[in-house]
Amino acid sequence: MRAHRLANLARHAILLLGSATVVIPFLWMFTTSLRSRAETYTNTTVVPTSWHWENYARAWESAPFGQYYLNSTLMAVGIVLGHLVLDALAAYAFARLRFPLRTALFVLLLAVLLVPNFVTIIPAYSLVAGFGWIDTYAALIVPRLADVFGIILLRQYFASIPQELEDAARIDGCSRAGTFFRIMVPLSMPAFATLAIFSFLFAWNDFLWPLLVTNSDEMRTIQVGLSSFQGRYGTSWNYLMAGTMMATVPSMAVFMLFQRALVRGIAMTGLKD
Amino acid sequence: MTSLLTARAAPSGRRGPSQPRRSRRYDRAEVLTALAFLLPALVVLGVFVVYPIASAAHISLTSWNGFDPVKELVGLDNYAQLAQDPAFWNSLLVTVIYGIGVCVLSVVSGLAIALLLDAPLRGRGFYRGVYFLPTVTSSVAAAIVWRYLFDPAGYVNTWLEQLGVSGPDWFGDRWLALGLLTSLTVWKSLGFNAILYLTALQALPTGVFEAAQLDGAGMWQRIRRITVPLLRPMTFFVVVQGLITSFQAFDLVYVLTGGGPRGGTEVLGMFMYREAFRLGNFGYGTAIAFVTLFLVLGVTLVQWRASGSGRSTLR
């Protein structure tokens, strides 16, 4: 019993040490965002001697963070909705419907998953430029309305729902589409929640694509805006960290609210992003 | 239509032997439904993913600059040029070292955290949440914080000074910068790897461990001789994921080091970005992208083979 307690104490000690390496950067980001400018350079103490909440207002004013937030939100909502609808429909077809070339098509999708996004990014960029979409919401949203990861995740979940439930509805005269919307969709809410969180985090944190397809400050997403903010205000650490906090808080909030669904999703698929 | 419906409705187990399990003919209505369900996703993926892959194969054989209406074919010139470009070899070397570093540290840290969190412990959920925070944080935000933590005037060097050590110029030395980039990457996927290992640990049979304990095997022995070998398939998965992430790295590098100092952290993604979007060499940039594709395919092929044999040894 004693040895057991000692072992647990050791475990706590190591885990806490590890947690410190995770927490310290976040803590530093938070406290730096509240320091006076002078104090950012003499940051020997962890806790600021005076709290400057106005740094947030300053950061908010010195770059169009409101616009960045709006752009990121619109992009994230569009992508999440797109994934929920388009991925779910395709996943259902792969899970339950019989049609020619089903396996071949699914294997093709799996193969696409292996292709690094660098390969597609240059042609996709010139395609979007050709459509005249540069600096529009269309460029941010439309190319990412569907994704392979979501199709695989939902297909796996749909396949785990007993066929008998659908058969019963079919006997009662429900159409194929009807069984999907009335039986499968209500039963798959946990999987939809997982996919929605993954898609939101992907969209909110996405960087390279928005960096390429937006030029004007009005169309920048929060991550691209933050990166350019760093370029301009790199020496004002307090404002920069206030901006970084603003870019980080939404994804953290989503994570804290929906941690269970997220962890379950990773355990289910072993995939990320 | 009615006969089809009744045939469908019959429970699968009770189908007569004369009725084949899967008829070769498709139900027309079902195929049409499938088409309607698939079309939106397939159009998006077809236009913005599959077509670009084919198009990239073409562009990599041209000297296109991104604006000319004509893409002049140059054959394999881009690849030949790559082979002679010292910046490419530097980038490939940096990527490989970075990838190996990320894999080794990911396996060690992910496994360690998972082992510590495996048995019941007070506050397990708390630790899991904390270790996961970096994973949900954006690469840009994480890299900015690290960039200033390790700034010559930043918190880390101030702290080192208090200990009487003069802190190095983290971003002036290529190996230190690459080390930081590697650490940041591992830090970001800490929680992800730990959860993968935790899932694998919880699926292991407990009987083996009890038997080993009865036979007098100590904790370290059990970990070394039983846990680690049994977790091999997951380790392989973590390694492959780590390599693929490294081959595709961009965001973290762009913000943390910008590829510097003097190309010291210029991974392939950064190199491609510079060539294609800074210098306008779309053809050359696409050729670089294809090198990452070959690397990823190579790694995946190895994983495929090894996980196949790995599974058979487990059975």
A120·B144 Cβ contact <8 A? no
- 3-state DSSP assignment of residue A61: helix
Residues, chain A, total? 273
Say if residues B26 and A99 touch (Cβ distance below 8 Å): yes
A122 residue type, one letter: I
Q: Which residues pair with B62 in a beta bridge?
A: B73
Find, in chain B, the residue whose alpha carbon is nearest to that of A208: B251
pLDDT at A273: 39
Q: Above 50 in pLDDT, residue B267?
A: yes
Which architecture characterizes domain A61-269 according to CATH?
A: Orthogonal Bundle (1.10)
Q: How many angstroms away from the CA of A197 is the closest CA of chain B?
A: 10
Is B34 in the A-facing interface, judged by CB distances under 8 Å? yes
Is B132 in the A-facing interface, judged by CB distances under 8 Å? yes
B133·A247 Cβ contact <8 A? no
Give the mean pLDDT of B177-195: 92
**B102 vs B94, B247, B262, CA distance in Å?**
12, 11, 21
Q: Which residues of A touch B55 (CB under 8 A)?
A: 123, 127
A143·B48 Cβ contact <8 A? yes
Average pLDDT of chain B to the nearest whole number: 84
Q: Which token pair is B179?
A: 């080390």
A266·B254 Cβ contact <8 A? no
B48·A251 Cβ contact <8 A? no
Q: Which token pair is B45?
A: 């993926």
Q: Above 90 in pLDDT, residue B39?
A: yes
Complex ipTM value: 0.87
pLDDT at B312: 43
B56·A41 Cβ contact <8 A? no
Q: Which residues contact A34 (CB under 8 A, 6 or more apart)?
A: A48, A51, A52, A53, A55, A238
Say which residue, B25 or B114, is predicted with more confidence.
B114
Give the mean pLDDT of B222-227: 84
Query: Taken in order B179, B181, B182, B186, is the CA torsion positive or negative?
Result: positive
Longest dimension (CA), chain B: 86
Q: Which of B23, B33, B70, B303 to mutate to test the interface with A (most CBs of A within 10 A)?
A: B33
Is B131 in the A-facing interface, judged by CB distances under 8 Å? yes
Q: Above 50 in pLDDT, residue A197?
A: yes
Is B247 in the A-facing interface, judged by CB distances under 8 Å? yes
Q: Which token pair is A109?
A: 């999708």
For the beta carbon of residue B39, count every other beta carbon within 10 angstroms. Answer: 15
Give the mean pLDDT of B26-38: 90
Q: How many angstroms away from the CA of A70 is the closest CA of chain B?
A: 17
Is B272 in the A-facing interface, judged by CB distances under 8 Å? yes
pLDDT at B24: 65
Q: In chain A, what percentage of residues exceed pLDDT 90?
A: 42
Residues, chain B, total? 315
pLDDT at B313: 41
Q: Which residues of B touch A230 (CB under 8 A)?
A: 144, 147, 255
Give the mean pLDDT of A117-128: 90
For each of the domains in chain B, give its residue range(s) and CATH number, in order of start. Answer: 87-314 (1.10.3720.10)
pLDDT grade for B253, boundaries at 50, 70 and 90: very high
Instruction: Give the separation between CA B85 and CA B281, rounded to whole angstroms.
Output: 14
Closest residue to B133, CB basis, from A12, A22, A144: A22
Ranges of each domain in chain A: 61-269
Q: Which token pair is B178?
A: 């690459």
A15·B113 Cβ contact <8 A? yes
A212-250 burial, b at 16+ Cβ within 10 Å, e below that, comes to bbbeeeebbbbbbbbbebbeebeebbbbbbbbbbbbbeb
Q: How many angstroms away from the CA of A90 is the closest CA of chain B?
A: 5
Q: Which residues of A touch B14 (CB under 8 A)?
A: none
- Please give the distance of CA B281 from its chain centroid, rounded to a whole number: 27
In this predicted model, what pLDDT tens digit does every residue of A14-54 receive, in sequence order? 999 989 999 989 988 888 888 877 777 665 666 777 778 88
Give the mean pLDDT of B77-102: 92
Q: How many angstroms away from the CA of B301 is the closest CA of chain A?
A: 11
Q: How many angstroms away from the CA of A7 is the closest CA of chain B?
A: 10
Say if residues B73 and B87 touch (Cβ distance below 8 Å): no
Find, in chain B, the residue whose alpha carbon is nearest to that of A224: B140
Q: How many angstroms away from the CA of A47 is the closest CA of chain B?
A: 13
Q: Which of A102, A108, A121, A224 to mutate to test the interface with B (most CBs of B within 10 A)?
A: A121
Q: Which token pair is B260?
A: 């510097």
For the beta carbon of residue A260, count every other beta carbon within 10 angstroms. Answer: 12
Got the DSSP string for chain B?
-HHHHHHHHS-GGG--TTS-SS-SSPPHHHHHHHHHHHHHHHHHHIIIIIHHHHHHHHHTTB---SS-SS--B-TTHHHHHHHT-HHHHHHHHHHHHHHHHHHHHHHHHHHHHHHHHHS--TTHHHHHHHHHHHHHS-HHHHHHHHHHHTSTTSHHHHHHHHTT-PPP-TTTSHHHHHHHHHHHHHHHHHHHHHHHHHHHHHTS-HHHHHHHHHTT--HHHHIIIIIHHHTHHHHHHHHHHHHHHHHT--HHHHHHTTT-STTTT--HHHHHHIIIIIT--HHHHHHHHHHHHHHHHHHHHHHHHHHHHHHHHH-
A254·B29 Cβ contact <8 A? no
Say which residue, B315 or B127, is predicted with more confidence.
B127
Q: How many angstroms away from the CA of A139 is the closest CA of chain B?
A: 11
pLDDT grade for A204, boundaries at 50, 70 and 90: very high
H-helix or E-strand spanning residue A110: helix A102-113
Q: Above 70 in pLDDT, residue B235?
A: yes
